[in-house]
């Protein structure tokens, strides 16, 4: 295995929320990082500027789209590890524009895999999938208890043996890519790893109503703006601080002797669950004032509860979340209060 300082690493979507945190940590550890990002989403240009200012030539930022195979091939040259994070990330957007959702998530991933398998030395490919590949999980009994839903018979959360059941165009596109990544590992002997992720939050997240709900709620709390809730607000997720996710990425890439060809459910786990109503209550305590809330109809594809079992990741490559959810939310609020967190669309 290459020494860390010798590694050249490609991060697609590397100026996004998760990608910028990962790129920064890789650079901090001595890796040479190439970022491929189309810089189209809100906040990514701020993140790119931050990476350039903090790490200079150690991070090479290239504006380009994973839908263009030649762009991906060029960006992948010399990479020993590819973290494929680029994607269309909102269920609502996939419903209104399923073709673009497919082209970015499914075709974009195929382009990354094709570029990887043509390199002289096959790189490790880490792919960020989603819990949405499990669909509505209607076979499980769910109970409303106070201000939250809970699984009646699954205290440890969903493990990787759950049957796949893609719901929404987003679930289909991410699920198709998920399976392509797994099969390229089998057919072409690429060292691939799939992370089926729950809700990630933390600094450098420019959340909105459709995606990045923890940051969206936190920003609204700071600005004393109202929050719309779709459904009854009791829906539960296991939230994971972005720094913990970045550690999981790096550990999985370092331990391909056990992780290659594997799928891992990655989230905060049962110890870090929160409902929408509960998070709003936590935010009210942290910011010191009430937050106005209005309720609306459920949105398609929304799960009443999703909680990851992270036991496989702990067992196979020694990963566990470390940042408590309230501490993580405090860190997010602190960052959202800084000048660099001011969102522009430039």
- Which sequence positions are flagged as catalytic? 170
**Over the Cα atoms of the chain, what is R_g?**
19
Residues paired with 82 in a beta bridge: 10, 125
Q: How far is CA 193 from the centre of its chain?
A: 14
The token pair at 55 is 């790490």
Residues paired with 340 in a beta bridge: none
The answer to whether residues 77 and 52 touch, using CB atoms and an 8 Å cutoff, is no
Residues paired with 239 in a beta bridge: 199
SS (H, E, C) the chain: CCCHHHCEEEEECCCCHHHHHHHHHHHHCCCEEEEEECCCCCCHHHHHHHHHHHHHHHEEEEECCCCCHHHHHHHHCCCCEEEECCCCCCHHHHHHCHHHHHHHHHHHHHHHHHHHHCCCCCCEEEEEEEHHHHCCCCCCCEEEECCEEEECCCCCCECCCCCCCCCHHHHHHHHHHHHHHHHHHHHCCCCEEEEEECEEECCCCCCCCCCCHHHHHHHHHHHCCCEEEECCCCCEEEEEEHHHHHHHHHHHHHCHHHHCCEEEEECCCHHHEEEHHHHHHHHHHHHCCCCCEEEECCCCCCCCEECECCHHHHHHHCCCCCCCHHHHHHHHHHHHCCHHHCCCCC
């Amino acid at each position: 295995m290459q020494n860390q300082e010798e590694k050249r690493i490609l991060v697609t979507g590397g100026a996004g929320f998760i990608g910028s945190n990962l790129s920064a940590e890789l650079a901090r550890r001595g890796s040479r990082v190439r970022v491929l990002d189309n810089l189209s989403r809100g906040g990514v240009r701020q993140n790119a500027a931050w990476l350039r200012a903090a790490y200079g030539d150690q991070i090479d930022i290239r504006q380009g789209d994973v839908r263009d195979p030649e762009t991906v091939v060029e960006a992948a040259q010399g990479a020993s590890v590819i973290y494929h994070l680029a994607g269309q990330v909102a269920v609502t957007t996939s419903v209104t524009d399923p073709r673009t959702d497919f082209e970015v998530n499914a075709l974009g991933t195929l382009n990354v895999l094709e570029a990887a398998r043509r390199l002289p030395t096959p790189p490790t490919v880490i792919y960020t999938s989603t819990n949405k590949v499990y669909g509505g999980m209607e076979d499980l009994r769910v109970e409303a208890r106070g201000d939250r839903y809970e699984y009646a018979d699954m205290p440890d959360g969903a493990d990787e043996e759950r049957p796949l059941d893609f719901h929404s165009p987003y679930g289909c596109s991410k699920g198709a890519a998920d399976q392509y990544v797994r099969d390229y590992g089998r057919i072409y002997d690429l060292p691939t790893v799939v992370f089926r992720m729950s809700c990630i939050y933390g600094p450098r997240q420019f959340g909105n109503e459709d995606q990045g709900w923890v940051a969206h709620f936190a920003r609204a709390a700071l600005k004393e703006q109202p929050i719309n809730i779709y459904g009854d607000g009791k829906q539960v997720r296991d939230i994971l601080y972005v720094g913990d996710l970045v550690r999981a990425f790096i550990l999985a890439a370092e331990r391909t002797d056990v992780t290659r060809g594997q799928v891992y459910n990655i989230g905060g786990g049962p110890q870090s669950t929160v409902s929408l109503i509960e998070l709003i209550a936590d935010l009210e305590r942290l910011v010191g004032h009430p937050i106005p809330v209005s309720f609306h109809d459920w949105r398609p594809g929304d799960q009443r509860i999703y909680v990851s079992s992270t036991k496989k990741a702990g067992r196979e490559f020694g990963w566990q979340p470390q940042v408590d959810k309230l501490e993580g939310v405090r860190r997010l609020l602190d960052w959202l209060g800084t000048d660099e967190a001011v969102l522009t669309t430039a």
